[in-house]
């Protein structure tokens, strides 16, 4: 049996330490900027990273799609059907909320129904995944699902706000799976970093927990403050809420734009030949190339729209971007 010499182990330790140092540097900068100028930092992060992070997510999901679905056909059909149905229902809900078509009371009921459908869709995917090799013992999902559904019907807005704050952390779950596959020696560094995230949030609370509310007199400021949950979490300072949400979003962008691309495929972002779907033939390879190029065009167009009319573009983006939030669920479950 051979063993690693101290000199051979040094690069592993150093690389893990470097990963931790880079992550902490990003978190320190994000917390400082979010605490100092939450509105401006929120505007800047969405402008710079919203489009690119969606492009990298799409590229990652395409690389994880099997060439042949086989026994996974039902799983993926249910996944994509749910993404489409939930997205369309959400867009209709947003479009009609506050209009003569949907009163406030009906809007609350509609939101509770949408949250219920989302939770049942996720629970069904978890159950489905548990029956696919490698099998998992995830029978607990249904009691948890019905408990959250009950809470949802008591106050659907709290469930919606919880999803807003939990979504940025899903990227770390996928990052952990990538590290386990290709850089297992970095996992302790990731766990150490994740343990510091509540500390950063605590520091934001100490600085902004009793700060006066942010100015929401403009449409853009009002949307940013509302997106952070200030209407629902009325007992908390909107200053703290926006800073915390922006801090978490910046970490989310850092995972998708930097960490996962470098760990999953290095600098070969356009190497579509490595994707399983490319094995289906030249037509598929061309299709993948066109998809990646079209994605880059969308990023450029999004930047242009942000520049011309940032408030409207931001509002539309966060409504349409629900698709990529939902898409993370089936691919995350397949990675487990």
pLDDT band at 271 (very low <50, low <70, confident <90, very high): confident
**Least reliable range by pLDDT among 31-35, 116-120, 298-302, 322-326:** 322-326
Name the H helices within the chain: 6-36, 38-64, 73-96, 104-130, 141-154, 156-182, 187-208, 219-227, 238-254, 260-264, 282-308, 310-320, 322-335
Q: DSSP per residue over 251-311, as a string?
A: HHHHIIIIIHHHHHTTT-TT-GGGSGGGGG-HHHHHHHHHHHHHHHHHHHHHHHHHHH-HH
Confidence at residue 142, expressed as pLDDT on a 0 to 100 scale: 94
In this predicted model, what pLDDT tens digit does every residue of 91-111 receive, in sequence order?
A: 988 888 766 666 777 888 999
Per-residue b/e over 156-180, b at no fewer than 16 CB within 10 Å?
A: bbebbbbebbebbeebbebbbbbbe
The HSE-up count of residue 94 (CA atoms within 13 Å, CB side) is 13
How large is the average pLDDT for residues 254-274? 81
Confidence at residue 4, expressed as pLDDT on a 0 to 100 scale: 40
Q: What is the model's pTM?
A: 0.88
Structure tokens at 333: 């479950």
Confidence at residue 205, expressed as pLDDT on a 0 to 100 scale: 95
Confidence at residue 44, expressed as pLDDT on a 0 to 100 scale: 96
Tell me phi and psi for residue 102, to 5 degrees: -145, 105
Place of tokens 């609350």: 108
Residue length, the chain?
336
Confidence at residue 99, expressed as pLDDT on a 0 to 100 scale: 66
In this predicted model, what pLDDT tens digit does every residue of 214-256 receive, in sequence order?
A: 888 898 999 999 999 888 888 899 999 999 999 999 999 999 9
Q: What's the gap between Cα 56 and its chain centre?
A: 12
In this predicted model, what pLDDT tens digit does every residue of 289-309 receive, in sequence order?
A: 999 999 999 999 999 999 999
Beta bridge partners of 97: 102
pLDDT reading at 8 higher than 60? no
In this predicted model, what pLDDT tens digit does every residue of 141-195 receive, in sequence order?
A: 999 999 999 999 998 989 889 988 988 888 999 899 889 888 899 999 999 999 9
Confidence at residue 101, expressed as pLDDT on a 0 to 100 scale: 66
């Amino acid at each position: 049996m051979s063993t690693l010499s101290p000199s051979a182990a040094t690069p592993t330790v150093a690389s893990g330490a470097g990963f931790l140092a880079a992550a902490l540097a990003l978190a320190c900068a994000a917390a400082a900027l979010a605490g100092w100028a939450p509105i401006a930092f929120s505007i800047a992060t969405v402008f710079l990273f919203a489009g690119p992070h969606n492009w990298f997510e799409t590229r990652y999901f395409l690389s994880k799609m099997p060439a042949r679905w086989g026994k996974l056909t039902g799983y993926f059909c249910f996944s994509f059907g749910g993404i489409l149905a939930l997205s369309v229902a959400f867009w209709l809900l947003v479009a009609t909320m506050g209009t003569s078509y949907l009163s406030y009371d009906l809007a609350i009921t509609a939101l509770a129904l949408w949250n219920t459908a989302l939770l049942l869709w996720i629970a069904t995917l978890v159950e489905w995944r548990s029956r696919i090799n490698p099998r998992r013992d995830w029978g607990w999902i249904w009691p948890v699902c019905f408990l959250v559904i009950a809470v949802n019907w008591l106050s659907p807005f709290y469930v919606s706000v919880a999803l807003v704050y939990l979504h940025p952390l899903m990227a770390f779950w996928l990052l952990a799976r990538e590290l386990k596959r290709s850089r297992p020696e970095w996992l302790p560094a990731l766990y150490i970093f994740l343990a510091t995230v509540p500390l950063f949030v605590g520091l934001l609370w100490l600085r902004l927990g009793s700060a006066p509310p942010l100015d929401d007199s403009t449409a853009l400021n009002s949307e940013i403050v509302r997106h952070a949950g200030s209407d629902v979490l009325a007992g908390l300072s909107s200053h703290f809420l926006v800073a915390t949400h922006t801090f978490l979003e910046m970490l989310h962008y850092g995972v998708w734009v930097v960490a996962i691309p470098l760990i999953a495929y290095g600098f070969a972002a356009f190497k579509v030949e490595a994707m399983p779907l490319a094995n289906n033939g030249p037509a598929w390879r061309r299709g993948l190339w066109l998809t990646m190029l079209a994605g880059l065009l969308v990023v450029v167009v999004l930047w242009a729209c942000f520049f011309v009319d940032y408030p409207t573009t931001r509002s539309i983006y966060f409504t349409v971007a629900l698709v990529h939030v939902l898409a993370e669920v089936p691919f995350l479950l397949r990675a487990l």
